[in-house]
């Protein structure tokens, strides 16, 4: 049976939420705008993987940076995908044998937030 993964994090204001969902067919990271009407909330999507990439639920963390202007998808301790609050997309294309394609300037936005390991230890 294929593992299904779902993780999300809402911005403190409650207006935007980052959502990751993954199954044996693939995984996507979404940015939803909760101020919009139902059916109109999906603002942007990033394809993270296709097929079974071997991602485990315990390796996944969706979180906002301290400034609450960027939401990121961590797989392990690496930022693999991110959206800024305007819906600009960064990264995707997970491959456990490669480095993430998220620009350093976006990764640096998360330098003052807990790592995935620190979050799991809480």
Q: Using the CB atoms, write b or e for 11-20: b if 16+ within 10 Å.
A: beeeebbbbb
Query: Between the CA of residue 54 and those of 24, 38, 79, 104, what are the distances in Å?
Result: 9, 32, 17, 25
- What pLDDT digit, counting tens, does each position of 33-71 carry? 999 999 999 999 999 998 888 889 999 999 999 999 999
Q: What are phi and psi of 74, to 5 degrees?
A: -100, 135
> Measured between alpha carbons, how far is 12 from 10 in angstroms, rounded to an integer?
6
* Least confident window among 18-27, 57-66, 87-96, 108-117: 108-117
> Measured between alpha carbons, how far is 106 from 79 in angstroms, rounded to an integer?
9
pLDDT at 72 over 80: yes
Its pTM stands at 0.87
The overall average pLDDT reported for the chain is 89
């Amino acid at each position: 049976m294929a593992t299904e993964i779902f993780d999300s994090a809402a911005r403190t204001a409650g207006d935007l939420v980052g959502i990751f969902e993954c199954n044996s067919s693939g995984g996507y990271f979404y940015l939803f705008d909760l101020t919009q009407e139902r059916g109109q909330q999906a603002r942007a999507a990033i394809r993270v993987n296709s097929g079974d990439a071997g991602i485990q639920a315990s390796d996944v963390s969706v979180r906002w940076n301290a400034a609450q202007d960027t939401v990121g998808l961590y797989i392990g301790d690496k930022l693999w995908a991110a959206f800024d609050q305007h819906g600009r997309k960064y990264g995707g294309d997970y491959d456990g044998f490669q480095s993430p394609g998220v620009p350093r300037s976006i990764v640096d936005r998360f330098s003052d937030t807990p790592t995935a390991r620190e979050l799991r230890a809480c």
